[in-house]
Amino acid sequence: MSILQSPVVRLGSGTVRGRRLDGHLSFRGIPYAAPPVGDLRWRPPAPVEPWAGVRDALEPGNPAPQLAQSFGEVTSLDEDCLTLDVTAPDAPGEGRPVLIWLHGGGGTNGSAAVYGARRLAVTGDLVVVAPNFRLGIMSCFGYPGLADGGTFGIQDQQAVLRWVRREIAHFGGDPDNVTLMGESYGALQIAAHLAAPGSAGLFRHAILQSAFSVLGTTPAHTFIPGLPELPPRWAAENELEAIGVAVAAERGWVTGDGDPLAQLRQVPVKDLLEVSGAFIRPAFGGAVLPESPADALPAGRFHQVPLMLGTTLDEARFFVGLFADLVGNPVTADSYPRLLAEAFGDAADEVAARYPLEDYGTPSFAWARISTDRAWARPAWELGQALAAHTGTWFYEFADEDAPPLFPGFPSGAQHSSALVYQFDFEGGPELPAPQRELADRMTRYWAAFAANGDPGWSSVDSGYVRSLTPKGVSGTDYVSGHHLDFWAGKP
């Protein structure tokens, strides 16, 4: 690496110039695969075309194609999105642990660009890689005759892992000490990599933050009030192909003349994105992901690396607040019994007795607590127990009930994604008070220790231990009792 004011790194595909900033080096928008455009739409990532001269790596690359949502304001129609950002300490050194960050966003949205990794790099002494990868219909589309359908985002991430293996030493990173880290949909992707043959040997540890229902189904209304029961987060190839055929026919994308895949590759991106939400479940049954992770992980058929996973104390407040209260459709005392009946059937009265409305400030708060416990805490704990039977596994709960709110108008507590402002710098994000900054630094040290040696510094989950993370102190918590998991065992 150059010691000039603007750091320069020579890669296998060409030379890049980054920036030296406030204790760290930043390289942005580095291509790790060819643009998946034209005939490369819905194909495995292809090699980068080498470039001559010095390429500026000063600005973030394009986000994956997506339409703006209430939880994400970015719109992008450009399929040229397979780039990554690298953040490294501005200090001499080599062989640093490498952290690859897979962003969340529901499977349809998100971008590496919003996650400033300075704190992780400087405080944690890590090299952080944050890629963009295909999302939604560009990632998980399936159609008869489409090879590798439903796995293109996973393959993009595998291309990132191989890029890190080849290139990260140029940034001071250790290619043999790589940790995959993801939140929400990014954590679900990591569950896929644990079972994917092509990811073997490319990472040493993994961190899954707020992974959603890796192993099973989700009762009606417990993800978002108003949504029916959700199927497993993994789709069989033939199921995905059937959905692709139905959507293409309904939209008129395929006519009776010519190659249907060639016709589909001509459909404008904006038209595709209108149905992107129907294609967020990775497919299993092919070469990329032969078996559903819901079956492979409990059976021990996965890459048995050290794992850290956890949730936030109030996960579901994000979804009840954003998609119910803030759109003028809160849970009410009248709707509460109906939601219980539709979600839990014959067990509805038991759930109502365990979560009486008078124990909560509003019916929406009561429903958020039920949803947190059933749709987030229970599946996360079951996943942790399944993984701990086969490999070292550490569990945590982010529990700062005074975490900065992500949107106004609904008391948010330690809701889904609230821990991210303690880990990353967000442009225009909140300034953390001193006690929360101390918690953020402590979390960074835990995550960095895990990335370095596969142990964050507390007891593993096979002892029943769960680390609670709050500004008031870091200690063990009775996760099972706190989320009524004994009650939920055996319930729908």
Q: What is the pLDDT of residues 15-68, one digit of tens each?
A: 999 999 989 999 999 999 999 999 999 999 999 999 999 999 999 999 999 999
315 labelled catalytic = yes
Taking the complete model, does pTM exceed 0.95, yes or no? Answer: yes
- Residue 326: both structure tokens together: 């803030």
For the stretch 437-469, what's the b/e string if a residue is b when 16 or more beta carbons lie within 10 angstroms of its beta carbon?
Answer: eebbeebbebbbbbbbebebebebbbeeebbbb
Q: Which of 24, 193, 303, 416 is catalytic?
A: 416
For the stretch 134-154, what's the b/e string if a residue is b when 16 or more beta carbons lie within 10 angstroms of its beta carbon?
Answer: bbbbbbbbbbeebebbbbbbb
Query: How does DSSP classify residue 151?
Result: -
303 labelled catalytic = no
Q: Which of 76, 139, 184, 468 is catalytic?
A: 184
Task: Reduce the DSSP state of residue 19 to 3 states and report it.
Answer: strand
CA dihedral 420, 77, 163, 16 (to 10 degrees): -100
Q: Which of 79, 167, 241, 315 is catalytic?
A: 315
Widest distance between CA atoms in the chain? 69
Q: Distance between CA atoms of 325 and 405, rounded to whole angstroms?
A: 15
How high is the pLDDT of residue 385? 96
111 labelled catalytic = no
The answer to whether the beta carbons of residues 393 and 308 sit under 8 Å apart is yes
Which overall architecture, per CATH, does domain 8-488 show? 3-Layer(aba) Sandwich (3.40)
Residue from 460, 462, 466, 459 nearest 480 by CA:
466
Q: What is the DSSP string of 343-401?
A: HHGGGHHHHHHHS-GGGSSSHHHHHHHHHIIIIIIHHHHHHHHHHHTTS-EEEEEE--T
How high is the pLDDT of residue 2? 43
Mark the ranges of the chain whose per-residue pLDDT is less than 50.
1-4
The answer to whether the beta carbons of residues 413 and 313 sit under 8 Å apart is yes
Strands of the 14-17 sheet, one edge to the other: 8-11, 14-17, 54-56
The bridge status of strand 173-183 relative to strand 96-102 is parallel
Q: What single-letter amino acid sits at 347?
A: A
- Residue 390: both structure tokens together: 């086969």
Q: Distance between CA atoms of 36 and 6, rounded to whole angstroms?
A: 30
The bridge status of strand 83-89 relative to strand 19-21 is unpaired
The answer to whether the beta carbons of residues 30 and 166 sit under 8 Å apart is no
The residue extents of the domains of the chain are 8-488
What distance, in Å, lies between the first and last C-alpha atoms of the chain?
A: 56
How high is the pLDDT of residue 3? 44
How high is the pLDDT of residue 96? 98
